[in-house]
């Protein structure tokens, strides 16, 4: 109970801090933030429009790409938040947190949660608006209840991955390599390209990756196409996520050594 209360206080503090940071942005900073979100959405949707010239959109590739990009947005934002947090930790914030609280991991988890939640909401809203503007309709959602079940473990896992990325980025000099691994390799192994649209051999190989059962279920629920029974995938999903939370909780004091 004491640990949960401490995490709640840290989360509330980070929420207040992020709110002050966002409300304190000037118009130029807001335009830069929003333009970044719009540009990411436009890159994806430009590819959809280009494919529609060849009739590919008739097989509903646009729907697949929307849910892939939506899932990637939810996954990747904690990694970006970790990159931002790294510079602050190197600037002496870590020492202050340890001196005042003694629990660096708890504060960092709250930081990653609040920061990534705000940006995920902004990016997802802009993606939805741009999609609707181009296609004149909202993207189809085949299985709303399964989507509701699939999103929480993805968010929890992505925040834990952000914490791992923060640790790795703080231990090596070349953060570009760490960023590449966490932003590209992990999602690729996690089903950002669903096995249902890949060649059979590659799809079967990717199904051996545990990450496939954590990231991809959001795409499966959005498109309604599952490689296995949804209940099996979601059970594995929650087992992996809960196990990851337990591991981080057990070894979170190791984060002290990023200093």
Token pair recorded at residue 126: 């802009």
Q: Please give the pLDDT value at position 30.
A: 61
DSSP-based three-state secondary structure for 252:
helix
**Model confidence at 60, in pLDDT bands (50, 70, 90)?**
low
What digits encode the pLDDT tens for the residues 105-118? 667 777 788 788 88
Considering only residues 203 and 1, tell me which one the structure prediction assigns the higher pLDDT: 203
**125 pLDDT higher than 80:** yes
Mean pLDDT of 28-38: 61
Mean pLDDT of 147-159: 93
Quote the CA–CA distance of 169 and 179 in Å, as a whole number.
8
Q: Please give the pLDDT value at position 8.
A: 64
Q: Which of 155, 143, 77, 145 is nearest to 116 (CA)?
A: 77
Q: Please give the pLDDT value at position 36.
A: 63
Q: Which among 42-46, 51-55, 61-65, 138-142 has the top mean pLDDT?
A: 138-142
Report how many domains make up the chain: 1
Least confident of 26-30, 82-86, 122-126, 169-173: 26-30
Q: Please give the pLDDT value at position 200.
A: 80
Q: Which domain holds residue 87?
A: 2-258
Q: Please give the pLDDT value at position 116.
A: 82
Least confident of 59-63, 161-165, 215-219: 59-63
Q: Please give the pLDDT value at position 148.
A: 94
What distances in angstroms separate CA 123 from CA 38, 59, 86, 108, 171, one per listed residue? Answer: 8, 26, 22, 22, 30
Mean pLDDT of 5-19: 66
Mean pLDDT of 31-48: 65
Q: What is the mean pLDDT of the chain?
A: 76
Q: Please give the pLDDT value at position 259.
A: 44
**146 pLDDT higher than 90:** yes
Q: Please give the pLDDT value at position 15.
A: 67
Q: Please give the pLDDT value at position 121.
A: 85
DSSP 182-247: IIIIHHHHTTSS-GGGS-HHHHHHHTT-GGGGTTTHHHHHHHT--SS-HHHHHHHHHHHHHHHHHH
Q: Give just the sign of the alpha carbon dihedral 108, 12, 157, 179.
A: negative
Quote the CA–CA distance of 31 and 29 in Å, as a whole number.
5
Q: Please give the pLDDT value at position 257.
A: 47
Considering only residues 165 and 49, tell me which one the structure prediction assigns the higher pLDDT: 165
Token pair recorded at residue 120: 């995920």
What digits encode the pLDDT tens for the residues 61-101? 677 778 888 998 899 888 888 877 776 666 555 555 544 55
CB 149 within 8 Å of CB 234? yes
Calculated CA dihedral for residues 106, 112, 114, 117, nearest 10 degrees: -140
């Amino acid at each position: 109970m004491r640990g949960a209360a401490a995490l709640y206080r840290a989360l509330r503090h980070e929420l207040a801090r992020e709110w002050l940071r966002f409300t304190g942005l000037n118009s130029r900073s807001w335009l830069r933030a929003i333009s970044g979100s719009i540009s990411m959405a436009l890159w994806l949707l430009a590819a959809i429009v280009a494919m529609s010239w060849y009739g590919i959109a008739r097989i509903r590739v646009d729907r697949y790409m929307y849910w892939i990009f939506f899932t990637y947005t939810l996954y990747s934002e904690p990694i970006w938040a970790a990159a931002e947090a790294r510079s602050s930790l190197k600037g002496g914030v870590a020492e202050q947190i340890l001196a005042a609280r003694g629990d660096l991991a708890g504060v960092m988890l709250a930081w990653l949660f609040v920061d990534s939640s705000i940006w995920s909401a902004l990016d997802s809203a802009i993606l939805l608006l741009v999609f609707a503007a181009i296609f004149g309709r909202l993207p189809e959602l085949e299985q709303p209840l399964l989507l509701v079940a699939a999103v929480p473990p993805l968010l929890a896992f992505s925040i834990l991955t952000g914490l791992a990325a923060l640790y790795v980025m703080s231990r090596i000099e070349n953060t570009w390599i760490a960023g590449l691994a966490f932003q590209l390799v992990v999602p690729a192994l996690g089903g950002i390209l669903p096995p249902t649209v890949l060649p059979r051999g590659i799809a079967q190989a990717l199904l051996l990756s545990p990450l496939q059962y954590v990231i991809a279920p959001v795409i499966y629920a959005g498109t309604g196409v599952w490689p296995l029974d949804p209940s099996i995938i979601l059970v594995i999903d929650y087992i992996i996520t809960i196990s990851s939370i337990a591991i981080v909780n057990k070894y979170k004091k190791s984060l002290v050594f990023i200093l």
